[in-house]
Amino acid sequence: MKVLVTGASGFIGGNLVRELVSRGVDVRVLIRKSSNIEFISDLKIEKAYGDILDYNSLLEALKGVTHLYHVAALYKAWLPDPEEFYRVNVRGTVNVMRAALEKGVEKIVYTSSVAAVGFVRDGEGICDENCLWNLGFTEDHYTISKYQAEMEVFKMICRENLPAVIVNPAAPVGPGDWKPTPTGQLILQYLKKRIPAYADTSLSFVDVRDVVRGHILAMEKGKIGERYILTAENLHMKDVFEMLHRITGIKPPRVKTPYGVNYAFASFLEFIASITGMETPLARSYVRVTKGRMAYDNRKSIKELGLNYGPVEKALEDAVKWYREHGYVK
C-alpha cells in the first residue's frame, strides 16, 4: 500500500505521517519546497514537491498511490484576503479529489471539520453527523470554506463514485502544533499570562493523536460516503482554563466578558491586523459563533470505527510540555 498525505507540514498531518511511518506504511508526502517539515524531518518518507492548487503536481504526486489522506487546509482565525480560504480549502480540495479519481486511488480520507457540521443554536443538546449546517451567519470564511469543500466532496462521491470517507475533527490539542493553530495559540497565550478574561461559550476538543487514529481507522473501516465526527469532550472555556491551571499553576481568568465586549475587542484586533498584517488571535466571526454551543456527538466514531478517546486534560498537558521544551515559552 502506497499512501499520499497532503498537509504533512501541519499539526494533524505531521502527527498522521509520524503514526503511519511507525506502523510501517510506505508514505509519500506532498509539500511545497518552502514547507517547514522539521517535525517529521527524522522520518523515512518520500517527498513529492507540489501544491494542491497545481493540478499537474498532484497527478505526479499520486503516481502509484493506492490510498490518500487529504489533510491540507488553510486554518486561521482571520486573513486580510478571505478569498484565500476558498482557493485553498475549496478549489484545492476539488483539485485533489479530481486528481485522485484520474489516478484511480482506491480509498480517500478527507479531513473536514466540525465547522462543517454546524452548532446548537438553542444552547441545548449536541450535534451529530446528521445536523444541518447553520453557521453561515457567522461570516467566518474558514468555516464556510470547509462546509463548501465538504459539499464538493459529497457531490463527487454521489456523481462520480469518489471513494472518499469524511472525518470531522473538533479542535485538536497535543504535541507538535508548531505553527501554532488557533487552538495552540490559545494555550500559548495562557502560558504567557495574556488571557485576562474568558467568553461565555463552549468548544469541543480532542487529542490530536486520537484524531490521527480516527483517520487511520476511517481508512480501514470507514464507509464510503459517510462522515465521522472526531471529538473527545465538549467543554466550557472556563473548564479549559481550570485544566490549564491544574497543569501549569498559572491562575485562570475569573472575569467573564459579555458578547458585546468580545465583539468590540475582536473588531479592534482585526483593525490592527489590517494595518500591521499580523495574524489576529480573535476575529469577529469567531465571536459570532459564541452565540451557540459548539458541542458534538462522538458515538458514531466509537461504534463504527472502534475509536477510543483519551482525556483532553492529558492532551493539554502534553501540549504545554511540548511548547516549553521547544522554546515557545521562556
Looking at residues 71-80, what average pLDDT do you find? Answer: 88
Q: Which residues contact 210 (CB under 8 A, 6 or more apart)?
A: 230, 232, 307, 308, 309, 310
pLDDT tens-digit profile of 118-151? 888 766 689 999 998 988 888 889 999 999 999 9
Confidence (pTM): 0.94
pLDDT tens-digit profile of 283-310? 777 677 777 678 999 999 999 999 999 9
Domain range summary for the chain, segments of one domain joined by +? 2-175+205-233+296-310
Confidence at residue 284, expressed as pLDDT on a 0 to 100 scale: 78
Residue 250 has pLDDT above 90, yes or no: yes
CATH architecture of residue range(s) 2-175+205-233+296-310: 3-Layer(aba) Sandwich (3.40)
Residue pair 209/20 in contact (Cβ under 8 Å)? The answer is no
